[in-house]
Amino acid sequence: MPELPEVEVVRRGLDRWVSGQQVTAVEVRHPRAVRRHQAGAVDFASRVRGRRVSAVSRRGKYLWLTLAAVDGAPQEAIVGHLGMSGQLLVDPVGTLDQAHLRVRFILADMDYELRFVDQRTFGGLAVDDLVDDGEGGRLPASVAHIARDPMDPDFDDKVFVRAVRARHSEIKRVLLDQTVASGIGNIYADEALWRSRIHGGRAANGLTGPVVRDLLGSVRAVMGEALEQGGTSFDALYVNVNGESGYFDRSLAAYGQEGLPCGRCGTPIRRIAFMNRSSYFCPVCQRAPRGQRSRER
DNA sequence: CATAGATCCTGTATGC
DNA sequence: TGCATACAGGATCTAT
Q: Check if A3 is active-site.
A: yes
* Same domain as A167, residue A139: no
* Same domain as A10, residue A138: yes
Identify whether A67 is part of a domain.
yes
pLDDT tens-place values along chain A, 297 residues long: 788 988 998 898 899 889 999 999 999 999 899 999 989 999 999 999 999 999 999 999 999 999 999 888 899 999 999 998 899 998 889 989 998 999 999 999 778 899 999 988 889 999 999 999 888 899 999 999 999 999 999 999 999 999 999 999 999 999 999 999 999 999 999 999 999 999 999 999 999 999 999 999 999 999 999 888 775 544 444 555 555 555 455 588 999 999 999 999 999 999 998 888 899 999 999 999 987 765 543
We report the CATH number of the domain holding residue A76 as 3.20.190.10
Measured between alpha carbons, how far is A268 from A260 in angstroms, rounded to an integer? 5
Q: Residue A22: exposed, middle, or buried by beta-carbon count in 10 A (0-12, 13-18, 19+)? A: middle
- Which of A96, A116, A143 is a domain's end point? A143
Distance A234 CA to B13 C1' (A): 15
Measured between alpha carbons, how far is A127 from A118 in angstroms, rounded to an integer? 18
> Where is A162: in which H helix or E strand?
helix A157-165
Which distant-in-sequence residues (6+ apart) come within 8 Å of A256 by Cβ? A234, A249, A280
Q: Check if A52 is active-site.
A: no
Q: For residue A46, which amino acid is it?
A: S
> Where is A127: in which H helix or E strand?
strand A124-132
Measured between alpha carbons, how far is A274 from A259 in angstroms, rounded to an integer? 18
Domain with A204, as residue range(s), is 157-296
- Which of A102, A118, A143 is a domain's end point? A143
* Same domain as A77, residue A162: no
Q: For residue A196, which amino acid is it?
A: S
- Rounded to two decimals, the pTM is 0.92
pLDDT, tens digit, for every residue of A235-248?
Answer: 444 555 555 555 45
The footprint of strand C (CB < 7 Å) covers A 1, 3, 36, 60-62, 81, 83-84, 120, 122, 142, 145, 176, 178, 182, 185-187, 255, 271, 276-278
We report the CATH number of the domain holding residue A268 as 1.10.8.50
Q: Check if A172 is active-site.
A: no
